[in-house]
Each structure stands twice: as C-alpha cells, then as structure tokens.
Amino acid sequence: MTDAAFQSDFLKTMQARGYIHQITHPTELDAAARAGVVTGYIGFDATAPSLHVGHLIQIMLLRRLQQAGHKPIVLMGGGTTKVGDPSFKDTQRPLLTEERIAENIAGIRGVFEKFLTFGDGPTDAVMLDNDEWLSKLGYLEFLRDYGTHFTVNRMLSFDSVKLRLEREQPLTFLEFNYMLMQATDFLELNRRYGCTLQMGGSDQWGNIINGVELTRKVDQKAAFGLTTPLLATASGQKMGKTVGGAVWLNADSLKPYEYWQYWRNTEDGDVGRFMRLFTDLSDAEIAGFETLEGAAINDAKKALADATTTMLHGADEAAKARATAESAFEDNVATSDLPTFDIPWEGTPEEQERNEGNAFTQRKAEALLKWSELAPSIGQARKKIENEGVWINDVLVRDPAQFFNETDVDPELGCFRLKLGKRGQIRLVRPI
C-alpha cells in the first residue's frame, strides 16, 4: 500500500511523520481505523525505574493513536520482566525480584500521564500489567492451550533469535518462552479489551507476528501488527545514549536541563525528522525550520528542545532550561542551574592533617571529567581531553593529568566549570 493509498487519519499521519516500518495487514488496519475506534497497545518491560529516550518513539506511537481518535493501552510487563526479552541481546538480562519490578513500574507510571489522557472514556488510555494473567497460567495448561500453535522452526527463523545464535551466545529456554508469553498478551488483550493492534520497534517484529497469528488462529479475530524503523542518528549512532549514559525520562534520573540540552545537541541532519517523530509541531512549522541553514539551524534545534522538554517536563522547565543554556553558552555566564556534581577533595593523610582534616590537595583534569559524568571512565576522559576539547574554567586543557586545586575554583560559583566539545556540554563540579 502506498502513502497515498492510506485513507485513515491514523495511518496517514503515521506514514507522513515517518513512524511506519512494517504492517501485517495494512489494508485491513486502514479500513478498521476508518470504521471506528481501534484499540492498540505497546508493552514496556519494567527493567529500570525510568524509561529512556529510546522508548520515546513507542510512547509517541500511543500518543498518535489517541490523537487520531483511537484507544491506547500501556501494558506494563510485570510478568514478562520476570523472564527477560532476548531480542537482539547478547546475554541474558539479570532477573529482577517481584519487589524491584513493582518499584520500577511505580517509577515509570508518571511518564505516560505527560503524553496520554487516561480515564474511562472510549478513547482514554489505560495502563495494565500482564502479570495479572501470566502469573495465573499453569504451565501444563499454557503448553496445552498455546504450545501447539508455535513451531520451533518458525521461532528460530526470527532475526532476534537467529542473530543471538549466530553469535554463539546462549539462549536459555526461559528466554525462548518470552515470545510465547508476549503472544499470549495480545490474545488476552483482544479478549478482555477488544484490542486489535500491537505496535513496537522493528526488533519486536517476530514477537508481534506471533501474537497476531495466535489471535487469528485461536479466536479467529482481527489482529494487526505495526513496527517503527530502527532509530539511529544521522551519523549512525544509537538513539538515546550520551557520554553520561542513558537519557532518562524521569526528572529524578535526569534533570530537565540535561534533557533539553540533549535535544539541543541534535545533529543537523536529524532536526526535521526528530521534530516529526517527537513533537506536535505542525508540518508547516517543521518545513519552515528545515529551510534554515548555517548558524540559523541552531534556532531549529532550540525549538526542538523546547517542544520535547515542554511535552515531558512542562513549559516552565523548558523555558528555564533554555535560559540556563543561553546564559552558559552564548553569554558565557555559568549559573547554579547548570548540572552540578559534588566531588570529594583527596590527599595523603599527611596532607589532610596539614589542611586540618580537609581531604583535598588536588585533582587531575581526567578525574574531574569522569566525576562530572562527561566521561564514563578515566580512559575515556583522557581520549576526550586529547581529541574533543575540554575547557576547565574557560581554559583549554591539553594534558589529562594536569592538576587543579582550590586556587582554580571559580570564587563566585565555588565550583570548577567544565565544558566538553564544540557542541557543548557544561558541568559544574563543586568540591566538598
């Protein structure tokens, strides 16, 4: 089906904004979306207390579904998290306790309220937990009722499994059951809530196909699958990673300023695409930003950062983040609103005694960089200083082993001011 062939608002928007990679039954899904309310879901395993930017495209799928007049289901994987999704993983994920899984779900829940409208209406979103039915499945009943609908031959044909085996990485029987459990989710949601659509990333295609086929075989009900393309930056980097780690969506895991700065540092070639995927800016607005060239493209990047941060953290936090960034980068004024890290002074016992218990003598530049999370390790800190350009208190650092002491602390801020690279990430490091 071509772009022009889609008739439903939902699929036309999805196609125009770049969300669609594969659809199992495009003509049927398009007709269903035109005829009435489609209920669709995406599953999120609770492996951490916050989701990250890598999950954001899936959250936006549910938002687009609701904006088009349909009903989204957020399915938390309280049950499947106990098993672990093997898709494109080199090793088995650590198994979490039920208590940790419950804590993670509680931490994740609030993010969805920023993007979706929850309630009891026909298109209001609902949040469910697949542990509600998976934990009640007897193993023999599970195998008898569903095992006959899957073949090992077919399961081995999916890329998520093939790539793991080709790497000669162990795939446990526990993990192998994951795709059966996810297929059962779709069947249960279809029976309980009339859910006919499962969406996810392209790495979930095999799992989604299993759910679609199980629902159609067992209950002879309509079921559809839709996946998004593998998301990478224009330079080929995986979306959502920084030198400091994952770009978390919870404010207590990543400050709104750092979230804003992540989007402000978007590569030039990604600005328009990311606006379509991650904001509600209109096509006309985005087209206007895409005409900007040279230094003016920074205005588009700020607009992207404003829109994404407003959606997640609110307009006030977005405005505050922008003001902090402009003050630091354009006016060259550091404020306490910048990310600040406490670093303990250190020294020999003799030096500490001379300093009346103060544990500080000096710190190497590479240590300051690692402590401020601008580098994940001392080795990476050295490479960044040697290759990317690091400024401490506006002075270019050329030697990773260069020492800094109390005389180098900015007297007004009481901190070291660190800046990494031309694209700019700024940290304050405060000695304690």
Report, as residue numbers or ranges, the catalytic residues.
47, 52, 55, 89, 93, 182, 203, 238, 241-242
E strands within 229-374? 241-242, 245-246, 340-343, 363-364
Contact assessment for residue 417 and residue 393, using Cβ atoms and an 8 Å cutoff = yes
Q: Are 227 and 22 in contact (CB under 8 A)?
A: yes
- Residue 416 to residues 49, 334, 419, 426: CA-CA distances in angstroms? 31, 10, 10, 10
SS3 135: coil
Taking each helix axis from N to C end, the angle separating 271-278 and 297-313, rounded to the nearest 10 degrees, works out to: 20
Q: Of 156, 151, 149, which is closest to residue 220 (Cα–Cα)?
A: 149
Instruction: In whole angstroms, give the CA distance from residue 365 to residue 370.
Output: 9
How far apart CA 36 and CA 167 sit, in angstroms, is 45
88: left (phi over 0), alpha (psi -120 to 50) or beta: left
Q: How many helices (H) and strands (E) does the chain have?
A: 19, 15
